[in-house]
Amino acid sequence: MKILVTGGAGFIGSAVIRLAISRGHEVINLDALTYAGCLENLASVADDPLYSFEHVDIRDRAALDRVFAAHKPQCVMHLAAESHVDRSIDGPGDFIETNITGTYNMLEAARGYWAGAGKPDDFRFHHISTDEVFGSLGATGMFTEDTPYDPRSPYSASKASSDHLVRAWHETYGLPVVLTNCSNNYGPYHFPEKLVPVVILNALAGKGIPVYGKGENVRDWLFVEDHADALLLVLEKGALGRSYNIGGENEARNIDLVRSICAILDEKRPKAGSYADQITFVQDRAGHDLRYAIDPARIRDELGWRPSVTLDEGLEKTVQWYLDNETWWRALQDRDGVGVRLGNKG
> Interface residues with ligand NAD (CB under 6 A)?
6-7, 9-13, 31-34, 36-37, 57-59, 79-83, 98, 102, 128-130, 159, 182, 184-185, 191, 345-346
Closest CA to 288 of 327, 224, 344: 344
CB-nearer residue toward ligand NAD: 159 or 291: 159
Query: At its nearest, how many Å lie between ligand NAD and the CB of residue 124?
Result: 17
The catalytically annotated residue of 26, 31, 86, 132 is 132
Rounded CA separation 21/328 (Å): 22
The catalytically annotated residue of 54, 57, 131, 251 is 131
Residues 6+ apart with CB under 8 A from 292: 131, 132, 134, 136, 137, 143, 183, 184, 218, 219, 220
- 39, with CB counted inside 10 A (0-12, 13-18, 19+), is middle
Q: List C-alpha distances in Å: 283 to 28, 191, 210, 250.
A: 42, 22, 9, 26
CB-nearer residue toward ligand NAD: 26 or 31: 31
Query: At its nearest, how many Å lie between ligand NAD and the CB of residue 29?
Result: 9
Query: At its nearest, how many Å lie between ligand NAD and the CB of residue 129?
Result: 6
Strand positions, DSSP E, the chain? 2-6, 26-31, 51-55, 75-78, 124-130, 177-182, 184-186, 209-212, 218-223, 243-246, 251-253, 279-282
155 annotated active-site: yes
CB-nearer residue toward ligand NAD: 8 or 176: 8
CB-nearer residue toward ligand NAD: 52 or 274: 52
- Following DSSP, what letter does each residue of 143-188 receive, concatenated? B-TTSPP---SHHHHHHHHHHHHHHHHHHHH---EEEEEE-EEEST
Residues 6+ apart with CB under 8 A from 45: 17, 18, 21, 27, 51
Cβ-contact 30, 100 below 8 angstroms: no
- Following DSSP, what letter does each residue of 297-315 receive, concatenated? HHHHHHH----SS-HHHHH
CB-nearer residue toward ligand NAD: 59 or 167: 59
Query: At its nearest, how many Å lie between ligand NAD and the CB of residue 14?
Result: 8
Cβ-contact 9, 37 below 8 angstroms: yes
Residue nearest to ligand NAD (CB): 10
Query: At its nearest, how many Å lie between ligand NAD and the CB of residue 186?
Result: 7
Query: At its nearest, how many Å lie between ligand NAD and the CB of residue 18?
Result: 13
Point out the residues that are catalytic: 131-132, 155
